[in-house]
Amino acid sequence: MDHISRNVKERILEAVEDTRIVVSQGARQVGETTLAREIVEEVGGRFVTLDDSIVACGARMDPVGFLDHDPDRLLTVDEVQRVPELVLVLKLIVDRDKRLGRFLLTGSANLLNIPTVGDSLAGRT
């Protein structure tokens, strides 16, 4: 399969440098996951996908431990809309620890339109 260069990659890399939470979302199958993996490979960090039901279950059972496990590295959470309760925990974590470049979230749904989220990440993403 041919690699498709994404013009948005440089903007995401810049955002990771100056924002606590970066969100990359788009329609299904447009390459958010592939791009996120490239970014993690380039800057270091950890990539987890909530498409994996075991990972999603762990995120639901211990959302703080899931998100704050390794706070010194970028954590990329793919398909974050699958565990919407993570949004409130993300807000708590980044309000407590204002370091930049903590999280890269991907998904095919607008986080602000998910009914179960209950809060936005305004000013944090």
The domain locations on the chain are 13-109
pLDDT confidence of 117, banded at 50, 70, 90?
low
- CATH code, 13-109: 3.40.50.300
The answer for 74, left when phi > 0, alpha when psi is -120 to 50, beta otherwise, is beta
pLDDT at 1 over 50: no
Strand partners, 105: 23, 77
pLDDT confidence of 111, banded at 50, 70, 90?
low
- The predicted pLDDT at position 68 comes to 92
Q: How many angstroms separate the Cα of 13 from the Cα of each of 6, 46, 60? A: 12, 15, 28
Helix, strand, or coil (residue 115): coil
**Arithmetic mean of pLDDT, 63-67:** 96
Higher pLDDT, residue 25 or 38: 38
Strand partners, 103: 21, 75
E strands of the chain, at which residues? 21-25, 46-49, 75-78, 103-107
Range in 38-47, 62-71, 101-110 the model is least confident about: 101-110
**Arithmetic mean of pLDDT, 79-86:** 91
Rg (CA), the chain: 14
pLDDT at 2 over 80: no
